Amino acid sequence: MRFSFVVAVASLGGLLFGYDTGVISGALLFISDAFQLSPTLQGVVTSAVLVGAVAGAAIGGATTDRYGRRRVIIAMAILFTFGSLASAGATALWHLIAARLLLGVAIGVASMLTPLYLSEVAPAERRGGIVSLNQVCVTAGILTSYLVDFAFADVAGSWRWMLGLGAIPGLALGIGMALLPESPRWLAGQGRADEVRAVLGQLRSPASQGETDREIEALRGDIRAERQSASLQALFTSASARKPLVIGIGLAVFQQVTGINTVIYYAPTILRQAGFASNAVAILATAGIGVVNVAATVAALLLMDRAGRRPLLIGGMIGMVACLLALAGSFAFVGGAGIATAAALAVYVAAFAVGLGPVFWLMIAEIFPLAFRGRGMSVASVANWGANLAVALVFLDLMRVAGAAGTFLLFAALTAAAVAFTWALVPETKGRSLEEIERAMGEPVAISAANAATAGYDG
């Protein structure tokens, strides 16, 4: 089986994640008119997916550790398809909210399971780029949703088409995953050694047989070393999981409280406030931001295994701070001039897309010990979606109370805090096997101030 096919199919989970989170940005303009929604109810409709995502992320770790990565992804593909069609067919507000809750469960599981599956099937030297491909698919899904929003902006029942078309990639993911193998690392954890060799034989080229043998030996040693309880309680009490948990939860929260999904969910609304003349024009400008998002994520994909994780994280967040200050200044002094606001939003999204966007999901797939990997990613994903939910719920009311300038200034301060957190705690994992990362996370070493920003550290 061609490895590229495995990666392409599995990455559809990221495409669905992006589409179903991004499509509401344009659809909300029309849903609000159809159901006569107040700003608070607009926040509820937007956030329904996020409530479901918190639940999905909470159950995702234990579920995938028990039933395997492949079967759970297939189940989520079915839920994506059903949720999309149910959202499109909603005849009452409660019906729409319930359907989006179901979609959210699928998104929450997919958000942690897709990078987990990809990290476990990828060779160590290619893992960063391959797992980051998931983030490219997330941004491609967001861009696709913006283009669909624009295409149907003047069509009767526009929001139903926007929401319902998410069923197509859902079907593709379910059919494709039925053809793919299970994760070799999960099989190793279940003691299914013969299947591990068979799957690696499918995933690796015949010329790399020696490397495959070494990979199997590393897996065996890792499993022998990790015959400990992998309960949720053990995750919070184990010394080997403590530092990865702090890093995972910290990056999860900072990824959201720095404001990125206010742009994903509310960009057309922000741009209308900045002076764009119509819904269609605001959605088209949002699609332009989506193009920048995809391009910057592709750049991150190419740089991830060359530049390293830490330089992309720190450099990207510094760029975000600068753009958020520019946005605050734009709204404070020139009333949010449309073109200037759109340009600042685009650069802000680009800075996020080369750093905090893809690196967070890659890091949580790398840093947890094998025995805790599923649950650790689940906890980090719950924190991520919980922070996402909180920001989405309060954003429109925050804009009303503090104004756009005050809101973006707050996001800038939180992003500066994220830079300090990353500088102090986040290690470099470029080029290491998952087993090497696991050993290093329990063996902190000192580093000098001179090489801290770019070289990272092994601890």
Among 361, 313, 302, 303, CA closest to 119: 361
Phi-psi region of 72 (alpha: psi -120 to 50; beta: other; left: phi over 0): alpha
What are the structural domain ranges in the chain?
3-180+226-455
The C-alpha torsion from 147 through 148 and 154 to 159, rounded to 10°, is: -140
Residues of the chain with pLDDT under 70: 1, 128, 132, 205-212, 221-232, 274-275, 277, 334-338, 434-435, 442-459
CATH topology of domain 3-180+226-455: Growth Hormone; Chain: A; (1.20.1250)
Q: How far apart (Å, rounded) are the C-alpha atoms in residues 360 and 388?
A: 14
Residue indicated by tokens 């507000």: 93
Give exposure, 245-278, as e/b (b: 16+ Cβ within 10 Å).
Answer: bebbbbbbbbbbbbbbbbbbbbbbbbbbbbebee
Q: How far apart (Å, rounded) are the C-alpha atoms in residues 168 and 302?
A: 29
Query: What does the pLDDT read at residue 83?
Result: 93
Query: What does the pLDDT read at residue 223?
Result: 65
Q: CA 274 → CA 24, 326, 336, 372, distances in Å?
A: 20, 14, 5, 46
Instruction: Quick: pLDDT tens for 359-385.
Output: 887 888 788 877 777 778 878 888 888
Q: How far apart (Å, rounded) are the C-alpha atoms in residues 94 and 101?
A: 10
Q: What is the pTM of this model?
A: 0.72
Q: How far apart (Å, rounded) are the C-alpha atoms in residues 426 and 417?
A: 13
Residue indicated by tokens 């939910």: 389
Q: What is the DSSP string of 298-362?
A: HHHHHHHHHH-HHHHHHHHHHHHHHHHHHHHHHHHHSS--HHHHHHHHHHHHHHHHHTHHHHHHH
Residue 223 and residue 188 in contact, taking contact as beta carbons nearer than 8 Å:
yes
Query: What does the pLDDT read at residue 85?
Result: 95
pLDDT cut 90: percent of the chain above it: 24
| Amino acid (1-letter code) at residue 79 | L
Would you tell me how many other CB atoms lie within 10 Å of the CB of residue 455? Answer: 14
Instruction: Quick: pLDDT tens for 406-433.
Output: 999 999 999 999 999 999 988 888 777 7
Q: How far apart (Å, rounded) are the C-alpha atoms in residues 57 and 130?
A: 22
| Amino acid (1-letter code) at residue 186 | W
Would you tell me how many other CB atoms lie within 10 Å of the CB of residue 151? Answer: 16
Query: What does the pLDDT read at residue 338?
Result: 66
Burial of 299 (0-12, 13-18, 19+ CB in 10 A): middle
Query: What does the pLDDT read at residue 1?
Result: 57
